[in-house]
Structures are given as structure tokens and as C-alpha cells.
Amino acid sequence: MKTRAHKKIHVAVIGAGLMGHGIAQVFAAAGHETTLTDANEDALREAPGHIARSLRQMGMEPDAILERVHLDMSLEGAVSDAGLIIEAAPERIGLKQRLFADIAAAAPRSAILASNTSVIPITRIGQDLDPQARSRLVGTHWWNPPHLVPLVEVVRTACTSDEVFEDTFGILLAAGKCPVKVLKDVPGFIGNRLQHALWREAISLVHRGVCDARTIDQVVKQSFGMRLPVLGPMENADLVGLELTQEVHRILFPDLDGGAEPSPLLAELLAQGHLGMRTGKGLRDWTPGQADEVRERLARHLIAVQAPTTTPI
């Protein structure tokens, strides 16, 4: 008997923004009929154009793939016969809880219910669902941009059934992603806990006057960042030896930022209206052209990294 991981299913994606339309692109490219829904009619209408541009950027012909992407303004209509439903709404827990209550009421009782939250524990999102729906709830944390970054974190809760957890993993693997299993539902899962531990220390170094923000980026990109694609932190610790690792930690850990609150530097910048690239200033200064160049450079890099193993569908 085929599991859901080994057959084509109807996928519904809730939210047609950057993450949502990228996730829909992945499933449509893998041969699944995929429905996008969004309360914002403009975002929904523009999604196929964004998908087409992304596919062309990847060297893929969009027409056949876009035939499998369907738009539906009605959440109930989008999920009514879906086998996998992925929520990609803004990071507001109340919104996500309301969405999943509506989804669970309208979708088949066999459908996998998945959230693309990047930090909110899946257990909290599903806390008001009935036990049967909670057993079908799982986290699928995709990375931005979702059609170019291979990894997806599959997060189980204490209520998630083994079948749903394994089927979700298998569906993503068959769609060409690199899923990993997160066995405990902790805030931020794996990747964001690692990433933001680095960000906390980086912002602290700038706040303490050790260096400026540009230097942080230069140090990361031109030193250990160059090794990361082929040498993970656990591999590196074993490579240099755990004796040295322990000695370095004895000296270093007492001086690292261990704050439990966001850096005061962030509060200062936000109070001044400096939100990042979209306002022209954050931790660094940005012109619109410079911001666009960063996005384009990232896309070109991710496409080039995957080029040897990417086969157009």
C-alpha cells in the first residue's frame, strides 16, 4: 500500500506571500496539484507571476508547472480535498491558532496539518484543537527563499502521530527537499536557535564597540562561513579535538553575551525608525540598489550551489 509520501496529493498552501508562493512552487514542480489561498487578493493574484519569474531564474519552463497551481480566495475551498495543508501566515500566534481552527473544520480528517512558523512552538499553535486534529499537526519550517534552500525542519509535538511525522518527512523528501527530524518541539527548532545565537553575539560585539556591522559580515563570510557548506560545527569540533574545544570554551564562554532579552542596540535603532533594508538603514546603511543586489546575489548563489544536482521537472 502506498503511503502519502509515494503518491501525488493535493497540497493547499495558506498564505501567498514570499514563503507561501515559494512553497507552492516546490510542490507544483514535484507534480502535485497545489492550491494557494490568501485573504489579500492582490498577493494571491500576483503569486503566479512571482513563481514564473523564479522558475525562469532557475532555468525552468514555467507553463506546465503553473498549470498545477490553482488560486482560491476561500480558505474552505482551498483545503476541502487537500491531503497536505501548509500554513504560511505571518508570525502571530493568535492568527495561526484561528487559521488552524478553521482549517481543521473544513479539511478532510485525514489531512496533514503543517505550520511553517520559524520560531513558535507547534504545540502552542495547536493547543485549542481537538485531539484528533492535534495528532495530525506537525511543523514544517522552510527557509527563505523556500524554493532555493533545500532544508525543511519537520517538527513533531508530543501529540503528533508517528504516521503523520513520517509521511510529512517522506513527502518533502520526494519533492526534492532535504528534510530533517526535530524530535522535540522547542522554540526556534534547530536552525533558528543556532542562527540567532550567532546573531546575539554579533550584535553584542557591535554594541560593545568591538567592531562595526560591516566587519561582522566580512569576518563570517571570509573565515568560518567559507567552511560551513562542507564542515558543520559538530564535525569541526571533532576535527580539532574535544580537548581543545573544551579549553576554548572555558576561556570564551564567560565573556560571551548570555542575555535573555534582545540587545538594547536593536531597541535604539527601532526607536529611530531604522528597520533594515526597507528603510535604508538597520545595523548597516542601504540604498535600494544595494538591497536589490544582496537579494540577487543570494538567489544566484543558491541556484549555483544546487546546479549540479538540479534536474528540471
Distance of CA 281 to the CA centre of its chain: 24
**Domain positions in the chain:** 4-182, 192-309
Q: pTM here?
A: 0.93
- Please give the pLDDT value at position 311: 41
Q: Is the pLDDT of residue 309 over 50?
A: no
Cα–Cα distance measured from residue 161 to residue 142, given in angstroms and rounded to the nearest whole number: 21
- Please give the pLDDT value at position 307: 61
- Please give the pLDDT value at position 2: 58
Domain 192-309 in CATH 3.30.750.24: no
Q: What is the DSSP letter of 190?
A: T
The confidence band for 1, taking pLDDT boundaries of 50, 70 and 90, is very low
Would you give the end-to-end CA distance of the chain in angstroms? 26
The confidence band for 306, taking pLDDT boundaries of 50, 70 and 90, is confident
Residues pairing with 82 in the sheet: none
Cα–Cα distance measured from residue 122 to residue 293, given in angstroms and rounded to the nearest whole number: 35
Cα–Cα distance measured from residue 99 to residue 242, given in angstroms and rounded to the nearest whole number: 47
- Contact 113/88 with Cβ under 8 angstroms? no
Give CA angle at 113 (13, 139), nearest 5°.
Answer: 90
The C-alpha cell at 262 is 534582545
- Please give the pLDDT value at position 7: 85
Q: Is the pLDDT of residue 82 over 70?
A: yes
Say which CATH superfamily domain 4-182 falls into: NAD(P)-binding Rossmann-like Domain (3.40.50.720)
* Residues designated catalytic: 118, 141, 153, 192
Q: What is the 3-state secondary structure (H, E, C) of 242-290?
A: HHHHHHHHHHHHHHCCCCCCCCHHHHHHHHCCCCEHHHCECCCECCHHH
Q: Is the pLDDT of residue 3 over 70?
A: no
